[in-house]
């Protein structure tokens, strides 16, 4: 029972910037992110967003990008209703190949800290759950997987294929839990958000067992036409509760 609970917690962390699922290594047959063509990439645009939990607006956040050569820096800053910075995530990555250089998360409420980088054949991470806790080090072999923090990037790069009705699969790795798993994205519906034609994309594990463990899927809504702006999101949040527990919410994005 304890193992099942731990697995479920790990799986639930998968969405937005944290998701995770497991399959045997022999099933590692997913499409490598390197096969994406440059034409599938859209420019990164800064945005702000509001988070509603149980129909109540509880937090806001901003996402800011900076480019230096082939390296994209993305900084996501979460604020409470008093505009106090409560959590921040900084990610350096290469967009074309979806290669992670570094990812750092700091929670200023709980003291949680995460720092992860790519290795020659996977990812390495250092993690502290709370202020004063011991810093743990983990690594995982995952040559054809992406880290959880790049899931939204991978979904964005697949908009045209999914909009045509294709089922796109890829692998995601979570070093802290020693988990690598195949995820699936499919078209859920067409939407109009503030007058903008959009496509809503369903994100969930490919494996039926892990669909049950995860619970409800998550949904990303993107503008159908270029530059394919990220418009809405519904599912597990990158922002945990003040106690460090995962939570679901609905995100509305503004440009």
What count of residues does the chain have? 255
Distance CA 102, CA 99 (A): 9
Spatial neighbors of 10 by CB under 8 A, at least 6 apart, are: 20, 174, 176, 177, 179
- What average pLDDT score do residues 86-109 get? 97
**What is the count of structural domains for the chain?**
1
Which range marks the domain in which residue 64 is found? 2-254
> How many CA atoms lie less than 13 Å away from 44 in the CB half-sphere?
19
pLDDT above 70 as % of the chain: 84
**pLDDT given at position 246:** 87
Distance CA 143, CA 139 (A): 12
**pLDDT given at position 24:** 31
Number of helices (H) and strands (E), helices first, in the chain?
4, 15
- What average pLDDT score do residues 112-126 get? 97
């Amino acid at each position: 029972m304890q193992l099942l609970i731990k697995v479920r917690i790990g799986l639930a962390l998968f969405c937005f910037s944290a998701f995770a699922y497991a399959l045997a290594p022999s099933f590692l047959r997913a499409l490598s992110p390197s096969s994406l063509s440059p034409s599938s990439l859209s420019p990164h645009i800064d945005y702000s967003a509001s988070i509603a939990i149980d129909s109540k607006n509880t937090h806001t956040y901003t996402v800011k990008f900076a480019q230096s050569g082939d390296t994209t820096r993305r900084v996501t800053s979460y604020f409470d209703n008093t505009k106090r910075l409560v959590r921040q995530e900084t990610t350096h990555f290469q967009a074309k190949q979806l290669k992670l250089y570094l990812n750092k998360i700091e929670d200023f409420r709980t003291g949680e800290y995460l720092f992860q980088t790519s290795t020659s054949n996977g990812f390495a991470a250092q993690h502290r759950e709370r202020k004063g806790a011991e810093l743990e080090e983990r690594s995982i072999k995952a040559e054809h997987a992406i880290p959880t923090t790049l899931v939204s990037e991978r979904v964005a790069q697949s908009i045209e294929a999914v909009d045509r009705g294709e089922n796109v699969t890829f692998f995601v790795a979570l070093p802290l839990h020693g988990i690598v798993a195949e995820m699936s994205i499919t078209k859920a519906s067409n939407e109009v958000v503030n007058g903008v034609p959009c496509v809503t994309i369903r994100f969930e594990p490919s494996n039926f067992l892990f669909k049950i463990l995860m619970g409800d899927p998550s949904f990303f809504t993107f503008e159908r036409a270029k530059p394919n702006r990220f418009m809405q999101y519904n599912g597990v949040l990158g922002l945990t509760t003040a106690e460090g527990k995962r939570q679901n919410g609905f995100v509305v994005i503004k440009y």
